[in-house]
A and B are shown apart, each in its own frame.
Chain A
Amino acid sequence: MSLPKMTRLLSRRPLVSIQQQQLPPSTLVPGRTLIQSEYRRPGKPRDNEPPWQKIKFDLSKGLEGVKKHFTLLKNELTGRWVGPEGKPIIEHMLEQNRVVWEFRGPESLQQWTLSSDREIGGQSEIYMELGRNSTSCLLYGTLCSTPPRDGETRYSGYCTARSKQPLASFDRKKHHDWSSFNCLHLRIRGDGRPWMVNIATETYFSHQKDDIYNYFMYTRGGPYWQDVKASGIIPFSKFFLTHRGRIQDDQHPLWLDKINTIGFTLGDNADGPFQLEIDFIGVCKDYAHTEEFAYEKYKRNPEV
């Protein structure tokens, strides 16, 4: 957004923020300083409107919401009589592959959230659209590792796409249960850049909110789709635990019964355009893969 034009000089006044001049005095109250307060994008004015003033009543949207949530509830209750996750147990047991996300229509893009370092003042861009013939999803944009000039950020340059949390009826959190599977199967076509796959599981404490399990995904470029062992099929045993991007000393295997979201991040410090085409994201059971966890844990303070 562009800055408003200054029509006169401010020589007699001390330099103040332009926003403070334009906002009415009643809103110049200190905002919440809690660590867990909602993120405010730099440059956006602080939102001090109380929640009850933000409600917008709309009868048709309300009726649509009622219909949607009660339909979901009905499906949950009837699915319960069929079997786990609405499928018969024999299907659950014999399932070897499951496609979780496939991009075949515009509604599939609504399940994803895009983000880049633009939120902290950087200049990277990321966009998502359907590929040719609506058979794939194309993530493209530009990476720019110039850090924002805010005096404290030293590094920058990331773009990410993350799936939204699955929701049950009445916006209750639901989780993906991938405990029958042991590998992540991606069919992708990239431009040679290294991406990172992030899986977020359900956590309990607020300080675990940013705990994510990561692994690398190397794309090969070229016209051929990738879904072979090298980089398209990633065993879950390879994922390592990080918190806010920092690899943790105390590593734990990824538990697959409560997965919340999956995401792809590009942050390879190479400025320029990027493209990643995704056909589908699925999970599979590789019978030959018996590893439970790829990383040995060493004592941090061994007795000598």
Chain B
Amino acid sequence: MNPYVLSILLMGLGLGTTVTFASSHWLLAWMGLEMNTLAILPLMAQHHHPRAVEAATKYFLIQSAAAATILFASSTNAWLSGQWDIQHITHPLPTVMITIALSLKLGLAPLHAWLPEVVQGLDLTTGLVLSTWQKLAPFALLLQISPEIPLLITSLGLISMLAGGWGGLNHTQLRKVLAYSSVAHLGWMMVVMQFSTSLTALALLMYVIMTTSAFLTFKLLKSTDMNSLAMSWAKTPSVTALAPMMLLSLGGLPPLSGFLPKWLIIQELTKQELGLVATVAALSALLSLFFYLRVCYCLTFTSSPNNLAGVAPWRLESKQISLPLATSTSLSILLLPISPAILSLTLPLF
């Protein structure tokens, strides 16, 4: 893509999220969300492949429907309560509508059906932007309105965890697996939102780091399905050794970083006397762990002299900048020992 066009689109993405973060008026927040949607569409369709155009179209339709619902709900709230302030949305009807619209924007179950198909149609870089950056702005809004409807938020969270776990079970396309992983992680963030917004923010931050590492790893290995992952030992042995750690961190296993948000969320749910919710959440993590383990198996435990699952690649030096991958992989593996420091930094902020 033309570098000027690319920089304008990326700046548009950044501006959209920043506008939503900084807004206290619903219309300004809606404007930021729309800017995000419109800025990412050319990035999605840049390759003009029919599947990429299909993904961009589906994304546009979903996000527009959600944005229209947000506009309608905020107008209804303004009509009923007389003000447009984001934090003072009190009437249950517009609150529920906005929550559902933001769930559609994020891809929370039961409104998640679009996410795997859209991510599958994109290249890995755009998929990364969709799975990480595009979640920030809707979450900023959800964090501000969450105390109003606890039952809905908890239900959405639980359903997302289960749908994300079950849905991702039998896929061999890595992008779809990461899409369902996104749904499951969003469920974890939602379920604790009503009790501790800082834990939600921490979970979101950890999810962004781990997902960035996952997408960059697959991009370096040039793999989009599990069979081509099997040849990664030939491409970069060091990444092949570290990537299972990163995937198990996504699955929430100690002593990796991904355990931190899950542990704190289960602890908080138990303190709030929601033992059943905590149990279901912990069990649903096993479903997600299964498909992460499957990807680990394909990545690491298949090598010659067994039959090769993938086509032998040319062993060319990769031109990809390694710093983001190195940073995100290190953070996604090594952060658990400094949990007290992380908690003291994040808890007062949100």
Contacts and interface: CB of A to CB of B under 8 A. Distances in A.
Contacts, number: 66
Interface string A266-302: 0000000000000000000111011000000000000
Contact of B170 (A83, A285, A290): A83
Contact of B172 (A84, A250, A253): A84
B227 interface: yes
Interface in B223-259: 225-227, 230
A251 B264 CA distance: 51
Interface residues of A, number: 28
B170 A180 contact: no
A68 interface: no
Given A84-B171, A93-B302, A204 B311 contact: no
A290 B230 contact: no
Interface in A76-120: 80, 83-85, 89, 92-94, 96
Contact of A179 (B58, B172, B297, B306): B172
Interface in B262-314: 294, 297-298, 302, 306-309, 311-314
Given A203-B50, A204-B54, A92 B308 contact: no
Interface in A213-247: none
Nearest to B120: A257
Contacts of A285: 311
A93 B227 contact: yes
Contact residues of A: prevailing secondary structure: loop
B169 interface: yes
B298 A182 contact: no
A125 interface: no
A252 interface: yes
A248 to B, nearest CB: 10
Contact of A89 (B297, B306, B311, B313): B297
A290 B314 contact: yes
B25 interface: no
A92 B172 contact: yes
A204 B172 contact: no
Contacts of B308: 287
A211 B298 CA distance: 34
7 tightest A-B CB contacts, nearest first:
A204-B54, A93-B309, A84-B170, A252-B49, A180-B227, A84-B172, A94-B307
8 contacts: A80-B170, A92-B226, A203-B50, A204-B54, A253-B49, A257-B120, A285-B311, A290-B311
